[in-house]
């Protein structure tokens, strides 16, 4: 079905002038988003969008342009703009497109026709069921901030004068809800979600109950006293940290002197319990993909193994400059040139379930939500400090809820302070997979 996109990309590449390298990325997205409130549809958006991004390299200079349209006239204008932009770039001997590297693009089950045939009315029913179960879960549930169903079919084709030619289609969907629990003047919130490749993968009741439980268990939360504590990050929180950690292992950051791990390949950078992989070929991951943003095969890369730094991730440019090969980690939309990044990071799980992890802690905090990561984590210096909420852990058991505090350390120290990795891998609507993580000696700032 996406072959028409590849045909457009081929046509653009065929317009290359002598001496020009051309790469065209052509995408189409079909999206449905349904929000419900009070047992009825609040909004239903249904739309298809498309776009083209054209990159041109001539004699070590690169230009780029994009358009949110696949009209012939828009493509012609975009090609002309990209050409015009080339001359303003600084000469870079490493500039250039990805070359086919012989790695076979894996056959992954990422597209489900069932998504396309699933009736809108059934999607609506699923979102309404999500809200209904949240509201019925506990008498203290006072409402929902949101309850939604969303799905997308993402098609992309990449072709280049260097011989790249790939096309693919991926389907995904999720349910998400924010629940509110109220007692007296106090309101607390909690979220729940469920992700899948087709609607039948989704479980509205599990998402609803999780949201209700996370909200109600926060009622009565107080600000904890400041101190240094052992912290259990729940899978959702761990995933957000892994996303940031991924940035520090990006080959472009390393080359440009922005990675705190730049000189550490082969060295121990964390607890021996830590094995970090980037594996977009794991189809359970929401961001799984068969090809990267330059059309090279996606692949499993081991970044940290038993605490030892093994690898940085690269796209074609950063690899060429670093004297290595692309790891299939070009990241992009059609509106930008490829950058470098992890596609789907995850820790290899340990053996303990979350209850066992908590049972092993005398005095600590379970953090179920963090806020302000974008302002509180500096991936260049490694300093981090984020807002947090969760539950105190006393004598191996969950105790009173706590809020309005921060947890702080540095990424470097945090990796060394990992004491256990849980066995509870959780796939989330983001490019990192969650798992419970026990980290010692984090600074808790509260009262």
Q: Which is nearer to another protein, 352 or 431 (CB)?
A: 431
User: Does residue 258 belong to the site contacting another protein (CB under 8 A)?
Assistant: yes
User: Does residue 385 belong to the site contacting another protein (CB under 8 A)?
Assistant: yes
User: Does residue 249 belong to the site contacting another protein (CB under 8 A)?
Assistant: no
Find residue 304's DSSP bridge partners.
276, 309
Rounded CA gap, 414 and 426, in Å?
A: 21
Q: How far is the CB of 18 from another protein (least distance, A)?
A: 21
Give the binding range for another protein (CB under 8 A) out of 47-55, 167-175, 238-246, 299-307. Answer: 47-55
Give the binding range for another protein (CB under 8 A) out of 278-286, 343-351, 406-414, 432-440. Answer: 406-414
Strand, helix or coil at 264?
coil
User: Does residue 405 belong to the site contacting another protein (CB under 8 A)?
Assistant: yes
Q: How far is the CB of 61 from another protein (least distance, A)?
A: 8
Q: Which is nearer to another protein, 113 or 186 (CB)?
A: 186
Among 88, 102, 266, 323, binds another protein (CB under 8 A): 88
Q: Which is nearer to another protein, 212 or 421 (CB)?
A: 212
Q: Which is nearer to another protein, 10 or 92 (CB)?
A: 92
Among 315, 318, 327, 386, binds another protein (CB under 8 A): 386
Among 131, 155, 292, 389, binds another protein (CB under 8 A): 389
Question: How many residues at the interface with another protein, by CB under 8 A?
Answer: 81
Among 255, 274, 342, 411, binds another protein (CB under 8 A): 255
Q: How far is the CB of 116 from another protein (least distance, A)?
A: 16
Rounded CA gap, 180 and 188, in Å?
A: 6
User: Does residue 372 belong to the site contacting another protein (CB under 8 A)?
Assistant: yes
Q: How far is CA 85 from CA 56, 63, 208, 433, in A?
A: 9, 5, 50, 38
Among 16, 37, 100, 322, binds another protein (CB under 8 A): 37
Q: How far is the CB of 95 from another protein (least distance, A)?
A: 9
Rounded CA gap, 377 and 438, in Å?
A: 19
Q: Which is nearer to another protein, 103 or 380 (CB)?
A: 380
Which residue do the tokens 């990992």 mark? 418
Among 142, 200, 310, 423, binds another protein (CB under 8 A): 142
Among 1, 38, 263, 265, binds another protein (CB under 8 A): 38
Beta strands (DSSP E) in 197-285 are 227-233, 276-278
Phi and psi, residue 100, nearest 5°: -55, 135
Torsion of CA 379, 239, 173, 389, to 10 degrees: -100
Among 408, 417, 419, 426, binds another protein (CB under 8 A): 408
Among 152, 187, 205, 426, binds another protein (CB under 8 A): 187
What the block records as the tokens of 379 is: 């991936």
User: Does residue 376 belong to the site contacting another protein (CB under 8 A)?
Assistant: yes
Q: How far is the CB of 110 from another protein (least distance, A)?
A: 22
From the list 205, 183, 182, the residue with the least C-alpha distance to 192 is 205
What the block records as the tokens of 34 is: 């349904």
Which residues in the 67-86 window bind another protein by CB under 8 A? 67-69, 71, 74, 77-78, 81-82, 84-85
Contacts of 78 (CB under 8 A, 6+ apart): 52, 53, 54, 65, 66, 67
Phi and psi, residue 255, nearest 5°: -60, -35
Give the strand pairing for 363-371 and 383-394.
antiparallel
Q: Which is nearer to another protein, 15 or 41 (CB)?
A: 41
From the list 170, 218, 173, the residue with the least C-alpha distance to 1 is 170
Which residues in the 224-243 window bind another protein by CB under 8 A? 226
Q: Which value, in Å, is the radius of gyration of the alpha carbons in the chain?
A: 24
Among 135, 291, 304, 407, binds another protein (CB under 8 A): 407
User: Does residue 403 belong to the site contacting another protein (CB under 8 A)?
Assistant: yes
Burial letters 185-221, b for 16+ CB under 10 A, else e: eebbbbbbbbbbbbbeebbbeebbbbbbbbbbbbbeb
Rounded CA gap, 119 and 19, in Å?
A: 50
Give the binding range for another protein (CB under 8 A) out of 161-169, 187-195, 359-367, 425-433. Answer: 187-195
User: Does residue 89 belong to the site contacting another protein (CB under 8 A)?
Assistant: yes
Rounded CA gap, 224 and 371, in Å?
A: 17
User: Does residue 360 belong to the site contacting another protein (CB under 8 A)?
Assistant: no
Give the binding range for another protein (CB under 8 A) out of 6-14, 37-45, 295-303, 344-352. Answer: 37-45
Strand, helix or coil at 259?
coil
From the list 403, 372, 417, 375, the residue with the least C-alpha distance to 231 is 417
């Amino acid at each position: 079905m996406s072959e028409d996109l590849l045909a457009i990309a081929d046509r653009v590449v065929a317009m290359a002038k002598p001496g020009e390298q051309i790469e065209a990325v052509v995408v189409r997205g079909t999206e449905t988003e349904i929000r419900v409130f009070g047992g009825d549809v609040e909004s239903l958006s249904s739309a298809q969008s498309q776009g083209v991004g054209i990159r041109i390299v001539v004699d070590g200079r690169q230009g780029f342009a994009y358009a949110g349209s696949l009209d012939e006239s828009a493509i012609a204008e975009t090609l002309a703009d990209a050409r015009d932009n080339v001359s303003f770039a600084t000469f870079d001997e490493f500039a250039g497109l990805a070359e086919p590297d012989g790695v076979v693009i894996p056959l992954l089950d990422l597209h489900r026709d069932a998504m396309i045939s699933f009736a809108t009315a059934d999607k609506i029913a699923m979102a309404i069921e999500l809200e209904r179960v949240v509201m019925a879960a506990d008498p203290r549930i006072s409402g929902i901030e949101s309850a939604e169903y969303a799905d997308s079919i993402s098609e992309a084709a990449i072709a280049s004068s260097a011989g790249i030619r790939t096309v693919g289609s991926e389907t995904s969907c999720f349910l998400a809800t924010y629940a509110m629990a109220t007692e007296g003047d106090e309101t607390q919130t909690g979220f729940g979600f469920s992700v899948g490749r087709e609607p039948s993968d989704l479980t509205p009741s599990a998402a609803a109950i999780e949201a209700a439980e996370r909200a109600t268990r926060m009622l009565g939360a107080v600000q904890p006293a400041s101190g240094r504590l052992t912290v259990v990050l729940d899978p959702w929180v761990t995933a957000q940290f892994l996303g940031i950690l991924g940035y520090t292992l990006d080959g472009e950051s390393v080359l440009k002197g922005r990675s705190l791990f730049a000189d550490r390949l082969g060295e121990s950078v964390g607890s021996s319990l830590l094995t970090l992989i980037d594996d977009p070929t794991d189809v359970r991951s929401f961001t799984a993909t068969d090809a990267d943003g330059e059309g090279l095969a996606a692949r499993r890369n081991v970044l940290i193994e038993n605490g030892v730094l093994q690898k940085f991730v690269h796209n074609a440019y950063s690899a060429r400059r670093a004297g290595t090969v692309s790891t299939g980690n070009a990241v992009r939309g059609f509106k930008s040139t490829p950058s470098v990044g992890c596609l789907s990071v995850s820790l290899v799980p340990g053996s303990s379930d979350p209850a066992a992890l908590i049972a092993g802690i005398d005095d600590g905090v379970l953090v179920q939500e963090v806020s302000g990561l974008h302002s509180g984590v500096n991936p260049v210096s490694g300093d981090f400090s984020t807002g947090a909420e969760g539950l105190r852990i006393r004598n191996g058991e969950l105790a009173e809820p706590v809020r309005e505090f921060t947890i702080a350390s540095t990424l470097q120290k945090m990796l060394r302070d990992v004491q256990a990795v849980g066995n509870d891998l959780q796939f989330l609507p983001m490019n990192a997979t969650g798992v419970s993580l026990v980290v010692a000696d984090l600074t808790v700032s509260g009262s």
